[in-house]
Copies of this chain bind each other. A is one copy, B any other.
Amino acid sequence: MRSSHSLWVTAKGTILSPRRDKLASAMKSESSNRRRTLPPHLVLRVDLGADLGLQRQIRQQLIDAIMGGAFAPGRRLPSSRQLARQLGVARNTVVLACEQLIAEGHLTARERSGLYVNDEIVKGLALAQRVVNPSSDDASGLDWSARIKAPAAVAAGWRCPPDWQKFPFPFVEGRFDRSLYPIVEWREATRLALGVRQVHEWSTDTGDADDPKLVQEICGKVLPRRGIKARPDQVLLTGGAQEALHLVTELLVERGTRVGVEEPGNVAMLQLLKRRGALLSHLSVDENGLIAGSDLDDCEILYVTPSHQRPTAATLSMPRRAELLGEARTRDSVIIEDDFECETNYLDDAYPALRSLPGGERVIYVADLSRALAPGLRLGFIVASPEIVAEARALRALTSRQPPLSVQRTAALFFSLGHYDKTMLRLGRIFRERMIALRDALNHYLPQSIAIAPVRGGTTFWVRGPEGLDARDLARSSETRGVLIEPVSHYYASAAAPANVFRMSVTGIQATKIRQGVATLAELIREMSAGKWLDPRKSKWLGPRELRKLIPGATFLYKTVYGEPCTIELQRNGQMIGRAGYANEDHDTGRWWIEDGLWCRQWQNWAYGEVSKYRTRIEGDRIQWFNAQGRLIDSAIFVRAGQAPAKVVSG
């Protein structure tokens, strides 16, 4: 019987296989015509706790079934009584959902017969069934990587774990604490933006123009806080600051253009500049921001982050600002001012933007509005001369078009109703409290460790650990104790990155948790400085014989530096298979061997395909591997051939 395959899910969310006896009796009472209308595999679910009402959930589920082809053309749907009984909801709820589906054209009702799928709405779907050879990339045999002329993907130096919100102490920057989101205010603005008149304004194809209301709000409410006066033809909206930087570099940089950048600096901007073939001059940064000295060479363009330097968070001092503008004038250079985190200038009056100072007419100003409006909204803007704005607008028309006008209008209303100012005020208070808590905790647990603190607002400290500490090791180890910090070496273009420096930020962690997080981190630093750095001569290493007994056929379970689970199978034939990621999406093969009492391995692609040789040690159910200097490189749950792991936990 076909219907026995059906799975019905109750209102409580548990999946039931319908009891045959009950269903059979229900079926018996129906005509044979009616019986045929039950699709062979139908899974309907409602969730009483969900955001969406029951009626809407039923609608969604039925539409999925219709569009997924669950109901063959000409077949009648189950009766509303049947649906209601199986879902455990009132019949009226089902009736209302079905009535709406009829009104909308998904279903048709035939007099004295029942509900049917509207043939017209599923007509196009026949195509999917007709296609003989659905394209399968897996079997294509095409070497796509050889066809990619300008690869964009680069090995990320450090990546925040995607589940960072589950860690108790996430001192990671720019991660959005959703408890801070002004949801009620955004809802109000959204509702208003959907008024008939408003929709008529923003749904029109306006060519390449932005919403004049939003431009007006930016000129009137945002820019005055930065000291900037701008006319509408000097402003262009973008999908965040990153897109603004993309447009500006596309216009002003070609192969061989010399650009001065901060060292350490904004990694994404460096990637953009490299794609354009720019020659880079790396300019030093200290606690007063960029040092505008003789290194400027013949830079045509200077890229700076004056409000809070990326990544050190240093604020460019007023004398340095004047000096920089003077140097730019002398050399006839253009300045790109990335006003990163300008929205968090709360501790005192902010310094005015470079764009607003004498000589500011050679500045192209770029800012982001995502701090107030949540990253999911993606709005930023450029302020520059009308010529640059006109060119950037033409380029934007080719590359991405303007940010959605629906979002622009919603943001305009959000601003005009005062929600932006209010939110900035609230965020300012909250971040200030958190920054003070972090400062105090660092001064208590890790005295003298704050190397650079932003002097005007900001949300990040540049922290220096003890000499000899490797911040990458620390970050990896602290993650296992729930503390996320960010190492800094990937911000450096040169090899001069200080190994013992890391960043701690407050955008994602509540003030009450900060002290404990810092205490945990400090304890780990002490442990690492004291015990974990094993003396190669004293340790009880695994010897060649032990290695040959333990390793062949074993499996290592651990976490990558990106916090993703990783499995390595060491096959007896010397082959090695690695799988990483939550869905094993990343994999590689390689070989392993034993040589001079060291465990050696080489991946095809991972770890740059280089040969690595490790001393190893067993502690409990874990294997640890160390480099020649005795530094712990990593550790993993160790499963010997034929065994099952006792318990899989993160490494």
Contacts and interface: CB of A to CB of B under 8 A. Distances in A.
Interface of A: 50-52, 56, 59-60, 63-64, 67-68, 101, 104-106, 120-121, 123-128, 130-137, 139-140, 142, 144-145, 147-154, 159-160, 162, 165, 174-176, 178, 181, 183, 186-187, 190-192, 194-200, 202-207, 220-221, 224-229, 233-234, 238-240, 242-243, 246, 250-254, 257, 268, 271-272, 275, 300, 334, 345, 349-350, 352, 355-363, 374-378, 384-388, 390-392, 394-395, 397-407, 416-419, 421-422, 425-426, 585
24 contacts: A51-B198, A63-B417, A104-B419, A105-B422, A121-B422, A127-B224, A127-B350, A127-B352, A133-B357, A135-B359, A137-B386, A142-B385, A148-B391, A149-B257, A152-B398, A153-B395, A162-B207, A165-B204, A178-B199, A204-B375, A204-B376, A239-B239, A242-B398, A377-B405
Contacts of A151: 251, 391, 394
A391 B147 CA distance: 11
B154 A394 contact: yes
A272 B142 CA distance: 25
A344 to B, nearest CB: 11
Contacts of A199: 178, 181, 183
B416 A64 contact: yes
Contacts of A191: 191
Contact of A404 (B135, B352, B385, B403): B403
Nearest to A387: B144
A360 B147 contact: no
A633 to B, nearest CB: 26
A366 B196 CA distance: 32
The 6 closest A-B CB pairs, nearest first, are A140-B361, A135-B360, A152-B395, A376-B405, A153-B394, A51-B195
A253 B403 CA distance: 26
A187 B210 CA distance: 22
Contact of A134 (B123, B197, B253, B356): B356
Nearest to A223: B128
A580 B392 CA distance: 21
| Oligomeric state, in copies | 2
Contact of A101 (B124, B200, B345, B418): B418
Contact of A385 (B137, B421, B425): B137
Contacts of A378: 401-404
A275 B398 contact: yes
Q: Which of A220, A228, A376 has the most CB of B within 10 A?
A: A376
Contact of A356 (B60, B131, B139, B233): B131
A246 B398 contact: yes
Nearest to A358: B133
A251 B152 contact: yes
Contacts of A50: 197
A294 to B, nearest CB: 23
Contacts of A224: 67, 124-125, 127-128
A203 B374 contact: yes
A44 to B, nearest CB: 14
A60 B130 contact: no
B363 A135 contact: yes
B153 A391 contact: yes
Nearest to A61: B416
A286 B251 CA distance: 37
B165 A391 contact: no
Q: Which of A50, A67, A135 has the most CB of B within 10 A?
A: A135
B149 A425 contact: no
Contacts of A359: 135
B268 A398 contact: yes
Contacts of A140: 361-362, 385
A187 B178 contact: no
Contact of A178 (B67, B204, B234): B204
A50 B198 CA distance: 10
Given A205-B176, A406-B376, A271 B127 contact: no
Given A63-B417, A105-B421, 20 more contacts: A51-B192, A51-B195, A59-B418, A123-B349, A124-B225, A128-B224, A128-B227, A134-B227, A137-B385, A147-B252, A148-B252, A152-B394, A152-B395, A153-B390, A159-B207, A203-B376, A242-B397, A376-B406, A377-B406, A407-B407
B352 A131 contact: yes
Contact of A127 (B142, B226, B253, B268): B226
A234 B585 CA distance: 13
A250 to B, nearest CB: 6
Contacts of A162: 206-207
